[in-house]
């Protein structure tokens, strides 16, 4: 089939690659425009999808919006059978949604209607969900409101980070979308089931203000917060070194026994020399951390350099 692919981040790339490998004709790839990157923020960097599309020899389009008539005419003129959308980042107007013969299919990384929106992977872990998945749905004008055709469920381990879940969901999304296209190409109709009107949750974009750790919260909630933001953007706190405060990114943690009981120590206090921290309820052991300007390290290596001991405070 003639396919338009629309996506931007690394998560989208396996689906683009799988569609190409399945033998479909990729007539165009739509992605977000190159963004400023680099240490000084001066170099324009193309998206992962743009780099992969160019490697595959696919024409790339990077409009700032699809709301203007000129861009809509270009899209409609591609005469696609279907558009596949995976983490594109732009809302599609009705004329774009209706232009391909089979409409637009979206690969979304949650079990809809739970976690519609921008950050479903992070929000599922931060909420302590035990399962998530990927769904192929037909797109409508609403945000992730369309009916669902295919679903694959993925378990979320108790210590799984957002990065690990991201890497497990990527190939699942790719294989599910290729299955959907194969069925359409073979003439098998996909059965689209409307989403439930109950259980709707929105996965809003991660705000910088919510990445700082609040040690007065229960250990279980902080554990989910840390792994849900790992490796990016990363939950963080501060510690004192040489009379100065320094930021510390928290990448991996372990819940300690008695994590649901009220702590007898002040929240944020190290209770041993292994980076076990008192929380509002229970205790959390930090396993992997990252000092500002340094690489991620095991907690033991960090402690040797920072020279923190029991009784120190994380702020």
Which residues are annotated binding-site positions for (6S)-5,6,7,8-tetrahydrofolate? 110-113
User: Which two structure tokens, joined as six digits, stand for 136?
Assistant: 């192929």
Name the region of 169 (left: φ>0; alpha: ψ -120 to 50; beta: rest): alpha
Angle at 52 between CA 50 and CA 57, to 5 degrees: 90
**Angle value at C-alpha 298, between 294 and 301, nearest 5 degrees:** 75
* Structure-token pair, residue 145: 């409101």
Phi and psi at 132, nearest 5°, equal: -150, -155
Binding residues: 110-113
CA distance 74 to 102: 18
H or E element: which one contains 19? helix 13-21
DSSP 235-289: EEEEEEETTEEEEEEEEEEEEPTTTTSBPSS-TTBB-SSS-EEE-SBSEEEEEEE
Q: How far apart are the C-alpha atoms of 190 and 184, rounded to whole Å?
A: 7
Report residue 151: phi and psi, to 5°: -140, 140
């Amino acid at each position: 089939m003639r396919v338009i692919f629309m996506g931007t981040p690394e998560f989208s790339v396996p689906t683009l690659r799988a569609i190409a490998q399945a033998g479909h004709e990729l007539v165009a790839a739509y992605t977000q425009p190159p963004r400023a990157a680099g240490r000084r923020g001066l170099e324009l960097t193309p998206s992962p999808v743009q780099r992969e599309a160019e490697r595959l020899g696919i024409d790339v389009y990077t409009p700032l919006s699809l709301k203007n008539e000129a861009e809509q005419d270009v899209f409609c003129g591609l005469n696609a059978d279907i558009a596949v959308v995976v983490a594109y980042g732009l809302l599609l107007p009705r004329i774009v949604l209706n232009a391909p013969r089979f409409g637009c299919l979206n690969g979304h990384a949650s079990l809809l209607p739970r976690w519609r929106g921008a950050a479903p992977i992070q929000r599922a872990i931060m909420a302590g969900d035990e399962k998530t998945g990927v769904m192929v749905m037909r797109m409508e004008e609403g945000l992730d409101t369309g009916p669902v055709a295919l679903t694959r469920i993925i378990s979320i381990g108790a210590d799984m980070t957002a990065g690990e879940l991201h890497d497990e969901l990527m190939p699942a999304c790719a294989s599910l979308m290729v299955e959907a296209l194969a069925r359409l190409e073979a003439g098998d109709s996909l059965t689209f089931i409307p989403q439930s009107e109950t259980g709707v949750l929105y996965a809003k974009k991660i705000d910088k203000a919510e990445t700082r750790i609040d040690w007065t919260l229960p250990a279980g909630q902080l554990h989910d917060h840390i792994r849900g933001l790992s490796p990016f953007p990363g939950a963080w706190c501060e510690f004192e070194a040489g009379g100065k405060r320094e930021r510390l990114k928290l990448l991996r943690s372990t819940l300690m026994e008695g994590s649901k009981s009220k702590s007898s120590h002040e929240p944020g206090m190290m209770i041993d020399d292994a980076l076990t921290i008192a929380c509002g309820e229970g205790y959390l052991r930090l396993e992997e951390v990252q000092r500002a300007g340094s690489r991620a390290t095991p907690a033991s290596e960090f402690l040797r350099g920072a020279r923190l001991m029991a009784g120190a405070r994380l702020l």
